[in-house]
């Protein structure tokens, strides 16, 4: 992850969240939340701590708290692509579809063609009801060669869109 901070404390910020990152890898989300709050008590300017806190909150179903953590990360590090994409998904889930599109487009403006951002924007446009835009972004996402499982889900979503046709070479 690249963070847009301009300061020399990036290494210290990473070091501070290593234990929490391991807890997240082990799917020990509640323990990660406790650890990340401890990190933030010591340094309220650690964007990684806020990002990983967002991840942990999302995994335990605390979606509003995840939104707030991702937003805090972006205040400290506007260039944090992972937080921007995650915030797009969270806003869509919470029903703020315009906000989801805005955050996804901001991610794409910083990283044109980023698969995760294309996916987020496609899903946001679908939630908004703009299936033409959704299809365009989701097709672009599929062109990046995503994981099989996600590609299957996205193809199914595209096939369900009004006016969808099977890809060339496939029978209806």
Q: Is the pLDDT reported for residue 169 higher than 90?
A: no
Domain boundaries, the chain: 1-79, 98-162
Domain 1-79 listed as CATH 3.40.50.300: no
3-state SS class at 143:
coil
In this prediction, residues 46-64 reach a mean pLDDT of 98
d(CA 76, CA 46): 8
Q: Indicate if the pLDDT at residue 103 is higher than 90.
A: yes
**C-alpha to C-alpha distance for 95 and 73, rounded to whole angstroms:** 21
Tell me what pLDDT residue 11 has. Answer: 87
DSSP state, 126? H
Q: Say which residue the tokens 């309220």 belong to.
A: 44
For the chain, give me the number of helices (H) and strands (E)? 9, 0
- Please, which pLDDT band fits residue 164 given cuts at 50, 70 and 90? low
What does the pLDDT look like over 18-44, one tens digit per residue?
999 999 999 999 999 999 999 999 999
pTM, to two decimals: 0.88
Q: Decide if 1-79 and 98-162 have a common fold.
A: yes
pLDDT at 1: 39
Q: If you average pLDDT over residues 133-155, what whole number do you get?
A: 97
Mean pLDDT of 72-87: 97
Residue 57 has pLDDT above 90, yes or no: yes
CATH of domain 98-162: 1.25.40
Q: Which is more confident, 59 or 12?
A: 59
pLDDT above 70 coverage of the chain, percent: 90
Q: Which of 129, 55, 71, 53 is nearest to 97 (CA)?
A: 129
**Mean pLDDT value of segment 44-48:** 97
Q: C-alpha distances in angstroms, 13 versus 28, 42, 56, 167? A: 21, 11, 17, 46
What span, in angstroms and rounded, lies between the C-alpha atoms of 96 and 52?
22
């Amino acid at each position: 992850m690249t963070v847009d901070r301009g300061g020399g404390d990036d290494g210290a910020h990473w070091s501070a969240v290593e234990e929490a990152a391991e807890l997240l890898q082990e799917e020990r989300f509640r323990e990660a939340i406790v650890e990340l709050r401890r990190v933030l008590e010591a340094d309220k300017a650690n964007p990684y701590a806020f990002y990983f806190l967002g991840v942990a909150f999302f995994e335990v179903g605390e979606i509003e708290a995840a939104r707030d953590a991702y937003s805090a990360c972006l205040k400290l590090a506007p260039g944090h692509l992972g937080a921007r994409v995650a915030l797009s998904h969270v806003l869509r889930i919470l029903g703020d579809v315009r906000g989801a599109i805005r955050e996804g487009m901001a991610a794409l403006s910083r990283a044109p063609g980023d698969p995760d951002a294309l996916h987020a924007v496609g899903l946001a446009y679908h939630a908004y009801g703009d299936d033409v835009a959704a299809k365009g972004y989701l097709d672009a996402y599929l062109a990046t060669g995503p994981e099989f499982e996600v590609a299957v889900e996205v193809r199914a979503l595209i096939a369900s869109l009004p006016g969808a046709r099977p890809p060339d070479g496939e029978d209806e």
